[in-house]
Chains A and B, each alone.
Chain A
Amino acid sequence: MSTQVHADLTESQVEQISSDLDEPEWLLETRKEALSALDDLEMPDVIQTPGRKWTNLDALDYESLVDPLDYAQDKDRIDAEGVDVLSWSEALSEHGDLIEDHFGSVVDPQRDYLTALSTALFSAGTVVYVPEGVDAEDVKIRTTMNSQSLFNYTLVVAEESASVTILERQENGDTVEGNQYYSGVVEASVGENAYVQYGTLQNLSQGTYNYQVKRGHADTYGTLDWIDGNIGSRLTKSNVETRLLGDSSESQIVGAFFGHDDQHFDIASRVWHEAEHTVADLVTRGVLDDEARSVYEGVQDVGKEAWDTSSYQRENTLMLSDESEADASPKLIINNHDTEASHSATVGQVDEEDMFYMTSRGVHPEAAKNMLVEGFFVPVLDEVEVDELRDDLDQLIYERLRE
């Protein structure tokens, strides 16, 4: 348990943040409760095998990373017709009741130490409200971090039969001395028959430690698709989760990561089937170079009442270097027998036969390898509906290969 941060955190700092955002009393109370819960909360769960923790979050020096009142960011929000894409202060004044209804309903504000820290200290963020029946595309949120630490909170509410695709980008702007800390929480409520695709492209600097929780609830016939693209950061701990609460709801979780140098990605995709006829598809592809390390956990949890479930998971990792390490644990937890479920995971390197085929046709080995790696990501890129996200991810992969 880390108490380094807490020593420096005061209630008055939390009050300061809250008043900056013009918050109602209930939200300030939620923050204060999260702050006082820090003493008793554990770090987020990480995978452990005997003698080994796959990600050591306790080793992070939060004291030097977190500066609660120093927050600076650029936010660029592009809305779509009929959709409200608002800053927290705007959203609280325009949709106070809606926010009170949904805030903390999907992500427990005190789920673990780092989430509670985010709840207590978030100063940046966005509320995306898609009213009933609105069909919208291409909502874009760009977050540029200009301070030591930034706590970002995004709330998405899609009402009945609404539809929206959202792209969120996270980057660093002004140079800051030393390491940085980015924390992002995304809560998504997907109403009956609604559709949400929420894509993230994380390209933070390699001095930035990154903690993210993205979690959504899908109602009857609702669909919630996540795209989780991770390129940047020094260390990322990302949790992407869907609870399929309504009959015939669906979720797809698509992940892509490309690590190099000594980057560490701890990626978890989790889905809970809690109603009948639900469908989930988890697809993650990652590439590791240099001394980069990936830790992947995928969980398909089929509840007792989840009759007629279909659940699929695939995770593939390519290792380009001998110093890299790829750990994977795809988990199936099945409590209903009327289930068709499968998962698979593979780790390997660029296929030698493919290389031979291409080099024998005159392609330079380096170029051949790059083409094969780019091709490796294609099945994942194909699932991305927002053009900008797909193109940028593709471009970042392209650039990284040629670094």
Chain B
Amino acid sequence: MSSDQDHLKETDTEARFEFKKEENAAFETEKGLTEETVRVISEDKDEPEWMLERRLRALEQFQQMPMPEGWPGAPDLSEVDIEDIVPYIRPDIETRGGAESWEDLPEEIQDTFDKLGIPEAEKNALSGVGAQYESEIVYQNMQERWEEKGVIFCDMDKAVQEHEDLVKDHFMTKCVPPSDNKFAALHGAVWSGGSFVYIPEDTTVEMPVQAYFRMNSEGMGQFEHTLIIAEENSEVHYIEGCSAPKYSAFNLHSGGVEVFVGENAHVQYSTVQNWSKNTYNLNTKRAICEADGTMEWVSGSMGSKATMLYPSTVLKGPGATDNHITIAMAGEGQDIDTGAKVYHNAPETKSTIESKSIAKDGGRTNYRGLVHIADGAEDSSTSVECDALMFDNDSTSDTMPYMEIQESKVDVAHEATVGKIGDEDVFYLQSRGLDDDDAKQMIVAGFIEPITEELPIEYAVELNRLIELEMEGSLG
């Protein structure tokens, strides 16, 4: 990791690094997340005063808010001890980039990357071994290509410094305020890293903007913030390919994603996530969509011990559209509680939600969605489709949609089906010479096709490979 070391020297981070170590020792005796922790983070990042104030206000809200408990069938979060959250941040500050080298990664993860057929350089990036330095090159390349048109794509910490007005106006104000939920508040207090994307008016970014790696590059990477602003008539496809299995000892990921879709703009946000099996993934993602704008969420949720993630869209202007395509897969010991939320707050708004889930080896998947159609959102329509596939009898699959309809001139439809993998389908394929494993994998591939066809080819391949890996040896 010589490049990493060089970088640290270049930016004088090492000195600050030492400083932080001291600070850590200083508040080691403190229990839970304190004001001091937040001040240290902010100071370290050399943030403007307003950001520190926002962090502190978020901290206050975090301390006052209850855990998301008492939801029917909600994942067990009893292990997520708020008092322990800070200690989890601390080692991250100390080690910066996480593991020192590829060899330090757990074998299981190295193995996964090998099986995925990912080249060495990319492996380093994906696993978080490669630190900020490499990632900045990724960003830099992007910028060169698009900066002439005024497109901004950079690290979130950097955006606070260099694009202060835009960030100040949009950062956790209108879209995901810290008061949204306890983990959004936590995120607001200790967030670090992430992507900032700005697309000016009348600009189309033809190729997907990819943030392939960010997780461990910046200190507490598990609280990364993504802010996307797409102005009027612009178009962008952002892909968060930080699907690396997280190897770290930290067991809480609480990111925040805010997307502003301007009038007649089009934003697609795609993500394939594959957290390590000891991670609690408690994320908040939301988009606000102006008149005639289109927001599209495409997500694959793999990995994690428990996930609670409900990407949501507020359809604010007339004619706004929101599409969700999601796939969740839960294996042994996993509880993937996910779904989509849509608020129809204007006339002639449309949403479609297509959710697929696969449960196997005792895993649990749950679709928990909310469609709200406000009074006055006439001629709005929504259609929700949930399909669940179950492999065995140790697994659980639930569907809990909520629909709040306050307007009569609407068209609302929800449909869900659950079934086991069809014996007849398996038999059919077997009779054509496929073995049992291949037959089942083919059925699963067909089942998730609506998702994969929305992803650029490399991500689709990755998603398919991840699912194949998950299924390997568990069939037959």
Contact = CB atoms under 8 A, between A and B. Distances in A.
Instruction: Please determine whether chains A and B interact with each other in the same assembly.
Output: yes
B73 A329 contact: no
Contact of B405 (A327, A331, A338): A327
Interface string B369-401: 010000100100000000010111101111111
A398 B434 CA distance: 60
Contact of B396 (A326, A327, A334): A334
Contacts of A345: 401, 403, 412-414
A327 B418 contact: no
Contacts of B413: 344-346
A347 interface: yes
Contacts of A207: none
Nearest to B180: A50
Contacts of A324: 408
B405 A326 contact: yes
B27 interface: no
A386 B225 CA distance: 61
B402 A344 contact: no
Contacts of A175: none
Contact of B400 (A329, A336, A347): A329
A304 interface: yes
A226 to B, nearest CB: 22
Interface in B56-89: 72-73
A330 B414 contact: yes
Contact of B401 (A329, A334, A340): A329
B95 interface: no
Contacts of A348: 410-412
A176 interface: no
Nearest to A337: B390
Contact of B408 (A304, A322, A337, A342): A322
Given A335-B396, A337-B420, A344-B416, A321 B408 contact: yes
B476 to A, nearest CB: 16
Interface in B300-344: none
A328 interface: yes
A335 B359 CA distance: 10
A276 to B, nearest CB: 12
Given A325-B404, A326-B405, A332-B398, A337 B412 contact: no
Q: For chain B, what secondary structure do more than half of its interface residues adopt (helix, strand, loop), or is it mixed?
A: strand
B205 to A, nearest CB: 34
Contacts of A141: none
A204 B376 CA distance: 32
B409 interface: yes
A319 B411 CA distance: 10
A324 to B, nearest CB: 6
Contacts of B402: 47, 49, 327-329
Given A322-B409, A325-B406, A339 B420 contact: yes
Most A CB atoms within 10 A — which of B397, B402, B408?
B408
Contacts of B392: 337
Contacts of B420: 337-339
A304 B390 contact: no
B412 A339 contact: no
A349 interface: yes
A77 interface: no
Interface in B395-452: 395-420
B417 A337 contact: no
B403 A327 contact: yes
Nearest to B387: A342
B416 A347 contact: no
B398 A331 contact: yes
Nearest to B365: A334
Residue in A47, A324, A343 with the greatest tally of chain B CB atoms within 10 Å: A343
Interface size classification for chain B:
35 or more
Contacts of B398: 331-334
A344 B415 contact: yes
Given A329-B401, A329-B402, A334-B390, A344 B410 contact: no
A106 B265 CA distance: 57
A332 B366 CA distance: 9
Interface in B349-363: 359
B412 A333 contact: no
Interface string B189-221: 000000000000000000000000000000000
Contact of A342 (B359, B378, B417): B417
B419 A329 contact: no
Contacts of A342: 415-418
Contacts of B396: 333-335
Contacts of A320: 408
A341 interface: yes
B393 A304 contact: yes
Nearest to B398: A333
A47 B403 CA distance: 11
A337 B360 CA distance: 9
A332 B403 contact: no
B409 A339 contact: no
Contacts of A323: 375
B393 A338 contact: yes
B412 A340 contact: no
A346 B414 contact: yes
B348 to A, nearest CB: 15
A23 B390 CA distance: 51
Nearest to B384: A345
Interface string A135-153: 0000000000000000000
- Residue of B73, B359, B405, B409 with highest tally of chain A CB at under 10 A: B405
Nearest to B392: A337
Nearest to B364: A335
Contacts of A336: 393
A333 B73 CA distance: 9
Contacts of B411: 346, 348
A52 B403 CA distance: 13
Contact of A347 (B405, B415, B417): B405
A341 B417 contact: yes
B417 A346 contact: no
A349 B409 contact: yes
Interface string A196-207: 000000000000
Nearest to A335: B396
Contacts of B406: 325
B415 A343 contact: yes
B419 to A, nearest CB: 6
A342 B386 CA distance: 9
A135 B397 CA distance: 40
23 contacts: A50-B181, A319-B405, A324-B408, A325-B404, A328-B402, A328-B403, A328-B405, A329-B400, A329-B402, A331-B398, A332-B397, A332-B399, A333-B73, A334-B390, A337-B392, A339-B390, A340-B418, A341-B418, A345-B403, A345-B412, A346-B414, A347-B412, A348-B410
Interface of B: 72-73, 181, 359, 370, 375, 378, 388, 390-393, 395-420
Given A326-B405, A336-B393, A348-B412, 7 more contacts: A322-B407, A337-B390, A337-B420, A340-B418, A340-B419, A342-B416, A346-B413
The 4 closest A-B pairs by CB, nearest first: A337-B390, A319-B408, A347-B412, A332-B399
Interface of A: 47, 49-50, 52, 304, 317, 319-349
